[in-house]
A and B are shown apart, each in its own frame.
Chain A
Amino acid sequence: MAREQLFVGLEIGTTKICVVVSESLPDGSIHILGVGETPSRGVRKGEIIDFSSVSECVREAIIDAEEKSNVEIRSVWVAISGAHLQSFNNRGTLILPEDHNAINDEDLRMVEMNAKEVILPPSNAFLHTIIQNYHVDGNKNVINPEGMMGSRLDADFHIVHGVKTRIQNTLRCLENMKLDIEDVVMNSLASAQVVLTQHQKDLGALVVDIGGGTTDFIVYVDGAVRHSGVLALGGDHITNDISIGLRLPIVRAELLKIEEGCALSPERSLGGKINLKNDPGFSGCEIDRNAFDTVVHARMNEILHLLKREVERGCHLDLLGAGVMLTGGCARLKGVATLTKEIFQLPVQVTTMDNLSGPTSMFENPQYSTAIGLTKYANAVYSQIPEETFFSKITNTLGGLFGRK
């Protein structure tokens, strides 16, 4: 496998485990070679609760992806989620000596280290340190200060951290399969790579990935990550509510949600009855659509209000000129864009992924945005960093996580 051109993204989701194999094209876009997928078992709210089941599912998804892409997978980029992930913004400052010629790579690394000098809970580890902007002697919003003269260098970072053992558990699933782990990427950061253009990031945008177990979000303002987080709420909660409220088995409730679910207020309900046909182990019945819509709307409305409150903690909504991009499996729920628009009072769109080629059914479906985004993230990382520097960076990241150098 040629590392420079092929990338494999692995998302261990609550609903499905997805492996995307893609190759980078000279124009910077990526071409999807194949997607392996298997229903997920042993994952709740984005976190592993049954290690052996998850390992088995990952194995199946990898084999599926290998068959479809005709590529032998040796290394993967892994997406991670869960309510344990937290973020904050912090500034690092470096006073440069008078005889310092110009800001160099080492200075940038030092200022990043300074920004990371914060006390995390003892069980947590850094996941991402994402640069927002540099300031050189008060000159704000410097994109790349390398080579510039200055006496004081400040840098704002968006820092993401999470519970070390929970991150490790995700990675241990892959150890038995003799797969190398290239890097671990927060779900929403990966999704943003494919659902947002640079222009949208500059305008200000919120990416909301509503998955099965979690709702991941990331906010871009002025081209940089301003805020991110995870709510341990997702499509599974809607299914669970339907199952309890309408007394349906979980499997039937899930199917009903996908086929008939609508996030809009029950006042706009079509009314009438929904006829559920007989299935093996389930005798058909009729359910009231108004009751069904009440259950779905109540949950979706709550998730979006909680999300709005969470986003507002990190950034003012007026700064999001490009509006809200919805992705993830639940973005396909009818009426979700309208409801989001009503709550956020911002333009909302269910995303499609640009700058991709390959099996169209894959990238038109928002539930694959994270796994595809991982490969695009990988492509971006590779294209920006020289190979030897890149490998040392990855070694440092994972070495720190596993306690080995």
Chain B
Amino acid sequence: MSALTSSLQFSASPYRIVGVGNAGVNFLDHLLLNNPFFLGLVALNNDLDALTSSVVPMQLALPPEQELLAALEEVLPRFEAEIQGASVILFCAGLGGETASTLLPHLAAAAKKAKKLTLACVTQPFSFEGKRAQSLAAEAASSLKQICDGVVILDNNQVASSGASKAGLGETFTASDEAMQVFLPNMVAMLSSKGPVRINRSHLLKALSRAGEKNYFGYGQASGSNRLHEAVERLFKSPQLQGGRVLAKCSAIFMQLRGPKDLSFAEAQAAMQEVERVVGEESDIQLSVSAEEPAGAALQIFILAVEEKEEKKEIIPNVEKISASIPKKSEPSEPSPAAPVPKASIAELPLDLLELNLPEEPVEFQKSAASKPVTKVKQTQGALNFTAAQRGRFDKSEPTIVEGEDLDTPTYLRLGLKLI
């Protein structure tokens, strides 16, 4: 997994990636360990032991869970100081825990109030974490959707299902960390793409801000003469994409192709054709191409797809419950999730937020990642891909995709027929 993001170069930090809670800080640690040049990371946690062992340079220690809301008045100004100077705030956290689920909507509201482009990338808890965690996560996700410009929710259960059924608990959590480790840098790169072919940020935000949507992403990279084909093949083997099947039902697909300077027009064209072949030509695919990676870097392809679900029943955010416990504010203008900051339409966003101009000079580290005692994360062998395992003898052959379905997978499995 280290190779996935190691070639990324981020020369500036017009954005902040804010990890909240244990999971959020874990995501940032993984990110930084694999790419020490990653800037603009902020860790917020009330687990002081975890925070001390974190390699994230900017840290904000939070009070214990029971005092969290009471101490908001103290926490928020410190947080606002950390995000000063940035124009994009990307929150990452694992919902379901008390810290992230409670605090994240407040932090997002503060960022939004400071006129930052506010995005959240959060994971839903594993089903074995219990109903309370699920309920907390649902409430927090709902609040975030109302506050943020865009929310990406990754389903941990889906990530876990791609692994072996007997995978250890640690491996399962690592899979979730790794998924985020792929997602975050690619999301940032997508937001700050500068090439001649780039994704319209307002379209991206519009897609991510739709209520009731479900997000999927996939990633593949490869080098060598057949790099594009191999990268696309790996992309569709990403656990969330299920061989590309899910893309067929997505209303918006954002694809990012990055590579060294020798990335050719034909490769970009072929990438589009390969993806169109799977998802259907009528699909709304937006492409961003960047050939600014260092020479010899792998060709990387990343897809973020948004499925617009039919809303059965809108979850009413229980922000009252959260706000009830907040101490009375002396000033009525204090931000509060109870009265979420009205989401500015994309057209109302300041121009500099929609078209970021990244400074050319790298920003210095506030705290060197190397100065921390780095606990080396054990790299484990990837679990066998579920979809690939079900293709049997066709595992290594070109898939037969019709309308997003991989027909090499046994028909009875795709139809859900039970063999008694």
Contact = CB atoms under 8 A, between A and B. Distances in A.
B347 interface: no
Given A241-B410, A244-B410, A306-B402, A49 B397 contact: yes
Given A49-B397, A290-B420, A302 B392 contact: no
B155 to A, nearest CB: 26
A84 to B, nearest CB: 10
A299 B400 contact: no
Contact of B412 (A231, A243, A298): A298
A399 interface: no
B420 A295 contact: no
Contacts of B407: 232-233, 237, 302, 306
Contacts of A237: 394, 407-408
B417 interface: yes
Given A288-B419, A291-B420, A245 B412 contact: yes
A246 interface: yes
Interface in B367-420: 390-394, 397-398, 400, 402, 407-408, 410-413, 415, 417, 419-420
Contact of B392 (A44, A243, A294, A299): A243
Given A237-B408, A245-B412, A306-B402, A288 B394 contact: no
Contact of B410 (A44, A45, A245, A291): A245
B411 A45 contact: no
B390 A44 contact: no
Interface string A277-302: 00000000000101100110011011
A295 B397 contact: no
A231 B361 CA distance: 54
A31 B392 CA distance: 41
A369 to B, nearest CB: 23
A232 B419 contact: no
A174 interface: no
Contacts, number: 66
A240 B398 CA distance: 15
What range describes how many residues of B lie at the interface? 10 to 19
Interface in A35-49: 44-45, 49
Given A232-B400, A240-B410, A245 B419 contact: yes
A234 to B, nearest CB: 10
Interface in B10-47: none
A239 B407 CA distance: 14
Interface string A113-127: 000000000000000
A236 B393 contact: yes
A83 interface: yes
A291 B419 contact: yes
Given A45-B400, A246-B419, A302-B407, A241 B412 contact: yes
Given A240-B410, A294-B412, A44 B420 contact: no
Contacts of B419: 245-246, 288, 291, 294-295
Contact of A233 (B390, B397, B400, B413): B400
Contacts of A231: 400
A377 B168 CA distance: 61
Contacts of A236: 393-394
A241 B411 contact: yes
Interface in B200-217: none
A288 B418 CA distance: 12
A391 B410 CA distance: 47
Given A233-B407, A306-B402, A44 B397 contact: yes
A83 B392 contact: no
A299 B417 CA distance: 12
A298 B419 CA distance: 12
B416 to A, nearest CB: 10
Contacts of B411: 241, 295, 298-299, 301-302
A83 B277 CA distance: 13
Interface string A48-59: 010000000000
B392 A240 contact: yes
Contacts of A290: 420
B397 A45 contact: yes
Contacts of A250: 392-393
Contact of A295 (B390, B391, B410): B410
Nearest to B401: A232
Contacts of A232: 398, 400, 407
B396 to A, nearest CB: 8
Interface string B201-238: 00000000000000000000000000000000000000
A45 B398 contact: yes
A298 to B, nearest CB: 4
Contacts of B413: 244-245
A31 to B, nearest CB: 38
Contact of A298 (B394, B408, B417): B417
Contact of A83 (B394, B400, B415, B417): B400
A288 B412 contact: no
Interface in A250-308: 250, 288, 290-291, 294-295, 298-299, 301-302, 306
A244 B407 CA distance: 14
Interface in B142-157: none
Contacts of A49: 397
Contacts of B390: 244
A298 B398 CA distance: 22
A174 B29 CA distance: 57
A288 B408 CA distance: 23
B21 to A, nearest CB: 41
A239 B179 CA distance: 35
Interface string B317-343: 000000000000000000000000000
A244 B392 contact: yes
Contacts of B417: 294, 298
A257 B244 CA distance: 30
Nearest to B397: A44
A212 to B, nearest CB: 11
Given A45-B400, A295-B412, A302-B411, 11 more contacts: A232-B400, A237-B408, A239-B393, A240-B394, A240-B410, A243-B393, A244-B410, A245-B419, A250-B393, A288-B420, A291-B419
27 contacts: A44-B397, A83-B400, A232-B400, A233-B400, A233-B407, A236-B394, A237-B407, A240-B393, A240-B394, A240-B410, A241-B410, A243-B392, A244-B392, A244-B410, A245-B412, A245-B413, A250-B392, A250-B393, A288-B420, A291-B420, A294-B419, A295-B410, A295-B411, A298-B415, A299-B410, A299-B411, A301-B411
Interface of A: 44-45, 49, 83, 231-233, 236-237, 239-241, 243-246, 250, 288, 290-291, 294-295, 298-299, 301-302, 306
Chain A to chain B: the 5 pairs with minimum beta-carbon distance, closest first: A291-B419, A241-B410, A298-B411, A232-B400, A240-B392
